[in-house]
Amino acid sequence: MTSSSDKKPPRTHAPATKVVHSGRAPHDNYGFVNPPVYRGSTVLFPTVEKLWKRDQEFTYGRSSTPTVKALEEAIAEIEGGVATALTASGYQAVSTAILAFVKSGDHILMVDSVYQPTRKFCDYMLAKLGVETTYYDPLIGGGIADLVRPNTRLIFTESPGSQTFEVQDIPAIARVAAERELWLLMDNTWASPLYFKPFDHGVDVSIQAATKYIVGHADAMLGAITSNARAAKQIALAKEQLGVCPGSEETYLGMRGLRTLATRLAQHQRSGLEIARWLEGRPEVARVLHPGLPSHPQHAIWKRDFLGASGLFSVILKPAGPKAVAAMLDGLKLFGMGFSWGGYESLVIPFDAKPYRTATKWEPEGPALRLHIGLEDVDDLRADLEAGFQRLTAAK
């Protein structure tokens, strides 16, 4: 006879299984595999009493629909949070999440390597509302305690850093946030819900530009704010009061993209690392900024905390003039030049982080390029870059 103490705990599904099955209830939708797209604003109530009490699950299209609810539940489960709130873009997810916790007179700590629009939101909108921002070194770790003031309300992290790919010591920062009773927010877009588990490392709110890897096809704008139990009410209130809501079609495209996230991200990781290793050996390249490479200064932190890498990283070229860089990039056949990333297509942009770093200095050896490695054949991508390097060298 087997005692209750001998029973094994129920099996938890693997992430790849969760992305396929979370947020789906086919038999509630006549057996159709995918949930339907609910388009609408008005939701009818059967009685006056129910209308006055708002006594039903859906009350108005802006607040939620069955389509929105399905994707929110799926992302929350995959990321390990209590609740997810969808937004119309990743930038809106950032601004909504910050506004959920601050008021006039507050102070926030913002990582210096953050996504540029987030910096602009702090420097303009938050300043206009009377909220002060201090930018901090992404490598500060537990030393961030020295920057906390009596009116500090939250710490915002983004790891790896946008464009320059510094990996933050999130657990060390989380310990300071917990000790000082601060909110800890993280832009987790690079790793997606699969390759970094923010709530296991002390984060209160995880932000996704779902436009990127969740949608995955460069055809919709979408954001997601996932929170723990401590932060869920504040996020829900901010979403409602700010009138934040995603589009119906965009939500459906996010759900569609989510189903293949594990498969796509694994390929982005494989191809990205292969190209990154190849670039390390190129004579035109000074450095490759990829956290998954042993040469990366914070590789040990990445290896400790992350479960994988995406297809986005940067390279620093050896000194070359603007005309040579333009010759390299203008002739690329497979790498498109455009903002965003996370889709099936490979992308490249030149960048210079000097103008938007204030707490740290950005001093590269030469021009900087950010690459997103898509789902194309790696040999074809390598050949495209090699031809670009030949143009770069010829134009010097």
pLDDT tens, residue by residue, 78-126: 999 999 999 999 999 999 999 999 999 999 999 999 999 999 999 999 9
d(CA 84, CA 208): 10
Question: Residue 145: its pLDDT value, please?
Answer: 98
| Residues taking part in catalysis | 62, 115, 187, 212
Dist CA 156 CA 204 (whole Å): 10
Specify the pairing of strand 107-111 against strand 183-187: unpaired
385's CB contacts (< 8 A; 6+ apart) are 275, 279, 332, 335
Amino acid at 224: A
Q: Does residue 187 contact residue 115 with C-beta atoms inside 8 Å? A: yes
**DSSP H helical segments within 180-332, as ranges?**
192-195, 232-241, 248-258, 261-280, 299-305, 322-330
Say if CB 265 and CB 373 are below 8 A apart: no
Measure the CA–CA gap between 109 and 336, rounded to whole angstroms: 35
> 208-236 pLDDT, tens per residue?
999 999 999 999 999 999 999 999 999 99
pLDDT for position 25: 78
Q: What's phi and psi for 93, nearest 5 deg?
A: -65, -40
- Residues sharing a CB contact under 8 Å with residue 338, sequence separation 6 or more, in sequence order: 347, 349
Under DSSP, the state recorded for 349 is E
How many other β-carbons are positioned within 10 Å of the β-carbon of residue 301? 22
Give the global pTM. Answer: 0.93
Q: Which helix (H) or strand (E) holds 21?
A: helix 15-21
Give per-residue pLDDT as tens, 172-216: 999 999 999 999 999 999 999 999 999 999 999 999 999 999 999
Is the CB of residue 113 less than 8 Å from the CB of residue 161? yes
| 3-class secondary structure, 197 | coil
Lowest-pLDDT choice from 9-13, 17-21, 99-103: 9-13
**Using CA atoms, how far apart are residues 18 and 314, in angstroms rounded to an integer?**
31
Helices (H) and strands (E) in the chain, counts: 14, 11
Identity at 73, one-letter amino acid code:
E
The answer to whether 269 touches 88, Cβ cutoff 8 Å, is no
5: pLDDT strictly greater than 50: no
Residue 225's identity, in one-letter code, is: I
Task: Calculate the alpha carbon distances from 136 to 22, 111, 113, 155, 347 in Å.
Answer: 37, 5, 9, 10, 29
